[in-house]
Structure 1
Amino acid sequence: MKSLRVTLCAAALLLAFGPVQATTPAPAKGKVSAAVADAAGKRFLQLADEYYDALARFEPVAATQNGDNRFDDRIGMAIAPAEQARQYARYRRFQQRLNAIDRRALVRSDQINYDVLAFELKTLLSFEPYPGHLLPISQMDSLPITLANFAGGEASQPLGTVKQYEAYLNRLAQLPAWIDQAIVNMKEGMRQGVTHPKAIMQSALPQFQKLVSATPEQSIYYTPIAKLPATFSPADKARLTAAYRKTIGTNLMPALARLATFLEQQYVPACRTSTGLADVPNGPAWYKVRVADSTTTDLTPEQIHAIGLKEVARIQGEFARLGPKLGYDGPPAGLPVWVSQQPRFFPFKTEEQVQAEYHKLNDLLDTKLPAMFTLLPKAKLDLRLEPELSRDTASDHYTAPAADGSRPGVFWSVVTDPKKYGSTGMTTLFLHEGKPGHHFHIALMQELGLPNFRKFGGNTAFTEGWALYAETLGREMGLFEDPAQYFGHLSDELLRATRLVVDTGMHAKGWTREQTIQYMKDTLGYDAVAKSETERYMAWPGQALAYKIGALKIMELRQRAQAELGNKFSLPAFHEQVLGDGTLPLSLLEAKIDHWIVQQKAAAR
């Protein structure tokens, strides 16, 4: 899930949890009256709802992906410069209205919401100087590919009723205008020297060429018609079939052909040959904004690079101790390659066998997690295979449940070749993408009674940091007593640490794509993901920093609480504190946990 966030100062964030200096003008001395508090609360909640609706209308497909299906018939035109200018003006007006609300008059829960909203608005406005709209398409994400993945009805956009079929059709009807705007933007990017690196667009090109079809019936966007529910009336079936055929054949197919031709003949040849964001105009400052967004901290790229090197060394030390337990007696750096050559770690012959193993793990976790969590989501977790279109570029991932309960959370496993699907990483992967990782956090967000901007929003440092922290719980549950599964955990953890080094290396230290790929091969001990991961970081500068930075903060807070509370420390209670107010910037989470520690110590006296 992508999000735009930065950090507030620590003093402001502490306000929800302790008596420190306020960020808004102090009210007159004396207790705030009930009438004043009620009025402030109503003003704030109205502002919060209007803010979220402005976000959802600006990027309705993102709203769909986050579980809000109210805008499933729109795609928006967020990449249009004029619309972007209007949206930034809205953000400034929201910020002015927020500053006019007396924060101290709000109840505790709304003080937290206030701080998160202030955080979000400051983040969104920090991106205004930078031309992100000139980079509308990459191998990692684009609207045409997203809508293609919706076509099967198994992703975020439901396709089970006539109204839902019409909503998706409306999106297809709007897509040609988006494609033409994207082409205009990329041409302007070529003029300004703001393009993606050529290497990642060469990887992206086949995706868009696959979207071009000879007839409407061969188009992936026609898939809903091939799966028309039997419950639809003959009249609805005939009407929808004709409408899909006309929209795809008359408007969408020519637009997709224009896009593929433009990318191949004009854009890819004109893309820059450099690697990092620092090589575009204002790139170094742009990268710092992205780092702040991703980590919700004020850490510099240089500090993060150093943290990454330290973590890489620590994890490689664990490899040295683990190797002999697996029957390996060579140098630690050679362990991953050795594991990759052992047939016993590649036991699958079919996709169904891979899925069966995940279902077995899911059942096992149902018996173990209640000892660690008292706060659990009501939504179910489903396990599905990634659609064929995106298997070559996708990573295993999670999608949120629908807010109305009509769709469960989904763990998507990406199985391109079952015989090459390694078993050693499955436990740590499911702990991260399934439960108690993304599912326990994101599904719970739908159930906490939060304002919509928080229910359907978030920040990457908390979201991915929690999921990476959740992986570490496998050791306490005895899931890593199998050395092979512990190797998988360490291998994935090493990847997250390596990201800190190479992302900052590429975008702040001048590393080349080839240098980065080689460092990943040397550090990870294998080259299976070195190219795809490097190109991911090229497309999404800073995004991959969130995982390890967020996890390290949560682990730090747990260790602090354990040291301060001793035998009074409760792991389920700690997890409830981390998750119970939804996604928070790391500085606000830290303030919350520190306040909880003080409360627990006082209660124990």
Structure 2
Amino acid sequence: MNQHFKLGALAAAALIACAPAIGADQAAAPTKQVAAHPQAGKKLNVLADEYYDALARFDPVSASESGDNRFIDQIGMSISPVERSRQFARYKAFQKRLHAIKRAQLNSRDQTSYDILDYELGMALRFEPFPEHLLPLNQMDSMPVTLANYASGQGAQPLSTVQDYRAYASRLTQLGPWVDQAIANMKEGIKRGIVHPKSVMLSALPQFKQLAASTPEASIYYTPIKNFPAGFSDADKRALTKLYADAIGGKLNPALNRLATFIEKDYIPAARTSTGWNALPNGAAWYKVRVASQTTTDLTPEAIHEIGLKEVARIQGEYGRIGPKMGYTGPAAGLPAWVSQQAKFKPFKTEQEVIDVYRKLDAQLRTKLPSMFNLRPKSPLDLRLEPELSRATASDHYTPPAVDGTRPGVFWSVVNDPTQYGSTGMVTLFLHEGQPGHHFHIALVQELGLPNFRKFGGNNAFTEGWALYAETLGKDMGLFDKPEDYFGHLNDEMLRAARLVVDTGIHTKGWTREQAIQYFSDTLGYSEADSRAQIERYMVWPGQALGYKIGSLKILELRHRAEAALGSKFDLRAFHDIVLGEGTLPLALLEKKVDRWIAASK
């Protein structure tokens, strides 16, 4: 599965992870330029900082995922109905203050901040009618599993100093009350018919059973105590050992046991047998807001479904051309399944051999990327194997650097069984998760001197759309000259296109889980188990998978528009400067920006 950067888009994390669809009429319409008024800019920057801090305090874990280490001892209680209601009140107050600022009195950089903030607040408020908090966990995403994955010290939770250890222990003490709030929310969800499908909760149950340990020492959260850094004193080790034993044994283990029992005995029997969000109360409207937030467009689910079908057909046409070059002579749609059965495309014996290929590719890219990019992040990119602790549930992914420079950006390669690790998708995967994909965008955002809400926030359509667009640059760089590498690129494109079809099919068109699984197996050649894991992801994260392809198609459309308009004057490096140079933008704002650049370049 071609994996995604876990976006800490805080505006959304608050509610669903993202921000409002902007129609063409709203999108930063050019204003008659007047002299910038310093007081207006000052008011905006104060407001933007207060807004970001409200997001970070509401969801501190997303803040640390995004590289902001100020709140690594907090988990927040964003699932609390009371806290959620307070957050919506804050959004309304911020929106009122924003609209009191005259946009025309801002300089052009602040106008962009104004437009993004207006967009994010508008979208966040569109979620107010929909009780996201009654679905606080699933098989893809939950606070207990997120904190468990931090226990290795390899992720967004640093574990290298005594202070770090105390910060993680503080989060563990807050996890027990979070679990009890989640149980209360799910009980309310049962009463109101707002529950997850039974199939996904059956998939989630083993995770939660595994977290519920009989003793502190048997808990995954105790892992840091078994891996003290060399410099810790004996006194510190004794104090931390007691701190962790008390935190885990006192409240956390009993809470996790209550959670596993509740899910098994109460929640799963009450879970629904339907598949899509449209089966929930007001679910069709709820899904449309999710689609708007994840794509930052006003595209309807029906229109996105049709885009997906057209893209699937186009890519299958490419399969028909590349298959014979790989030795395949069957029908185009059967190419992915055939490739998955060929031993020659699984050449590895050890995990070291896998990471060595990525390191060689990384070195190759460092010589090629300067000819395509003026803007490149200063933060280094490290390549690492996923720790054994989280390997079974993780997938290849990127984590951003800490803004204070204490950790680099990291491409994580997940190798459970090296003999089953396919080689055909490696080039495309690294272009997406490493450079010039997530690293060139996310690490660069931290270095542009942007307000915190832009530095640490963002939206899914730009973030994943850029990374998917970055995959296409492999063709420009000659990285797809081998047919199997070009197939790997096509296969990843097919995944993103098929997602448009199944996500909208499930949540709008009444597709069943089984129907969607069959479509994935037929279209992508996935095993039933792999297709099931993908489809169950879309069942609990409606709309999330749409941002990739919609964002990528928009960036490609803008590039082609610029190439056609500018002809010999078109400069790819300059185009990339325009796309990346102001950080993450909603797609409508990006389009306005590129159009202004085309007009000025003429």
- What TM-score do you get using the length of structure 2 for normalisation? 0.96
Structure 2: distance between partners of 1:389 and 1:292: 36
Please name the residue that 1:454 is paired with: 454
The equivalences for 1:304-319 within 5 A come to 304-319=304-319
Please name the residue that 1:560 is paired with: 561
Contact 1:140–1:393, Cα closer than 8 Å, also in 2: no
Aligned: 1:291 with 2:291: yes
Please name the residue that 1:517 is paired with: 517
Measured after TM superposition, the shift of residue 134 of structure 1 is 0.5
Please name the residue that 1:547 is paired with: 548
Measured after TM superposition, the shift of residue 19 of structure 1 is 4.1
- In the alignment, residue 470 of structure 1 is paired with which amino acid? A
Provide the aligned C-alpha RMSD in A: 1.2
Structure 1: distance between partners of 2:388 and 2:229: 22
Moved more, 444-453 or 331-340: 331-340
Residue ranges of structure 1 left out of the alignment (5+ in a row): 23-30
Contact 2:152–2:389, Cα closer than 8 Å, also in 1: no
Measured after TM superposition, the shift of residue 389 of structure 1 is 4.6
Structure 2: distance between partners of 1:388 and 1:272: 34
Measured after TM superposition, the shift of residue 212 of structure 1 is 1.7
Residue ranges of structure 2 left out of the alignment (5+ in a row): 1-6, 10-16
SS state at 1:250 partner: helix
Measured after TM superposition, the shift of residue 210 of structure 1 is 1.1
Contact 1:496–1:547, Cα closer than 8 Å, also in 2: yes
Structure 1: distance between partners of 2:483 and 2:333: 17
List structure 1 runs of 4+ shifted beyond 4 angstroms: none
Contact 1:213–1:253, Cα closer than 8 Å, also in 2: yes
Please name the residue that 1:324 is paired with: 324
Structure 2: distance between partners of 1:386 and 1:205: 23
- In the alignment, residue 307 of structure 1 is paired with which amino acid? I
Moved more, 387-396 or 281-290: 387-396
The one of 20, 24, 36 equivalent to 1:10 is 24
- In the alignment, residue 505 of structure 1 is paired with which amino acid? G
SS state at 2:27 partner: helix
Measured after TM superposition, the shift of residue 417 of structure 1 is 1.3
Contact 2:31–2:104, Cα closer than 8 Å, also in 1: no
- Kindly provide the CA deviation profile for residues 525-575 of structure 1, in whole angstroms up to 9, marking residues without a partner as x: 332631111011001000000000000000000000000000100001100
- Kindly provide the CA deviation profile for residues 270-316 of structure 1, in whole angstroms up to 9, marking residues without a partner as x: 11011000000000000000000000000000000000000000000
Contact 1:193–1:280, Cα closer than 8 Å, also in 2: yes
Aligned: 1:379 with 2:379: yes
Measured after TM superposition, the shift of residue 501 of structure 1 is 0.4
- In the alignment, residue 294 of structure 2 is paired with which amino acid? S
- Kindly provide the CA deviation profile for residues 194-220 of structure 1, in whole angstroms up to 9, marking residues without a partner as x: 011111111111111111222211211
Structure 2: distance between partners of 1:386 and 1:219: 20
- In the alignment, residue 4 of structure 1 is paired with which amino acid? C
Aligned: 1:225 with 2:225: yes
Please name the residue that 2:595 is paired with: 594
Contact 2:21–2:292, Cα closer than 8 Å, also in 1: yes
Measured after TM superposition, the shift of residue 160 of structure 1 is 1.0
Aligned: 1:281 with 2:273: no
Structure 1: distance between partners of 2:519 and 2:63: 37
- In the alignment, residue 64 of structure 1 is paired with which amino acid? S
Contact 1:91–1:125, Cα closer than 8 Å, also in 2: yes
Structure 1: distance between partners of 2:241 and 2:148: 17
Please name the residue that 2:425 is paired with: 425
Please name the residue that 2:496 is paired with: 496
Moved more, 519-528 or 249-258: 519-528
Please name the residue that 1:25 is paired with: none
Aligned: 1:535 with 2:549: no
The equivalences for 1:137-156 within 5 A come to 137-156=137-156
Aligned identity (percent) is 66
Contact 1:379–1:408, Cα closer than 8 Å, also in 2: yes
Please name the residue that 1:181 is paired with: 181
Q: How many residue pairs end up in the alignment? A: 587
Structure 1: distance between partners of 2:140 and 2:388: 15
- In the alignment, residue 94 of structure 2 is paired with which amino acid? F
Structure 1: distance between partners of 2:164 and 2:106: 39
- What TM-score do you get using the length of structure 1 for normalisation? 0.95
Measured after TM superposition, the shift of residue 472 of structure 1 is 0.3
Structure 2: distance between partners of 1:261 and 1:411: 36
SS state at 1:411 partner: strand
Aligned: 1:94 with 2:101: no
- In the alignment, residue 475 of structure 1 is paired with which amino acid? K
Please name the residue that 1:347 is paired with: 347
Structure 2: distance between partners of 1:553 and 1:290: 19
Structure 1: distance between partners of 2:286 and 2:264: 28
Measured after TM superposition, the shift of residue 357 of structure 1 is 1.2
- Kindly provide the CA deviation profile for residues 229-249 of structure 1, in whole angstroms up to 9, marking residues without a partner as x: 121222222111111111111
Structure 2: distance between partners of 1:365 and 1:217: 45
CA 1:234–1:391: 2 relative to 1, 3 Å = closer
SS state at 1:281 partner: coil
Moved more, 209-218 or 523-532: 523-532
